[in-house]
Structure 1
Amino acid sequence: MITNTLLIKLKERNNETIEKTKSVLLSMEGKIEVLRGIQVQVDIRRGESSYDILLITHFSSMEDMEAYLINPVHVEVSKYIAGVLESGASVCFDE
Structure 2
Amino acid sequence: MIVNNLFIRLKERNNENIEKTRVILLSMKGKIETLLDLKVEIDISKGDYDLMLITKYNSINDLNAYLSHPVHIEVAKYIVNILDNQVSLRYKSLD
| TM-score class normalised by the smaller sequence | over 0.9
CA distance in 1: counterparts of 2:82 and 2:8, whole angstroms: 9
* Equivalence for 1:92: 90
The match for 1:11 is 11
SS at match of 1:74: helix
Kindly state the Cα deviation for residue 42 of structure 1 after the two structures are TM-superposed.
Answer: 0.2
* Superposition pairs of residues 4-83 of structure 1, within 5 angstroms: 4-47=4-47, 50-83=48-81
Q: Percent identity?
A: 53
Gaps of 5+ in 1: none
Alpha-carbon displacement from aligned partner over 1:6-61 (angstroms, at most 9, x marks no partner): 000000001110000000000000000100000100010113xx200000000000
CA distance in 1, matches of 2:24, 2:81: 12
Whole-angstrom CA distance in 1 between matches of 2:72 and 2:90: 17
CA RMSD of aligned residues (A): 0.5
Q: Provide TM-score, normalisation by structure 1.
A: 0.96
TM-score, normalised with respect to structure 2: 0.96
Q: Please give the alpha-carbon distance, in whole angstroms, between the structure 1 residues aligned to 2:11 and 2:35.
A: 27
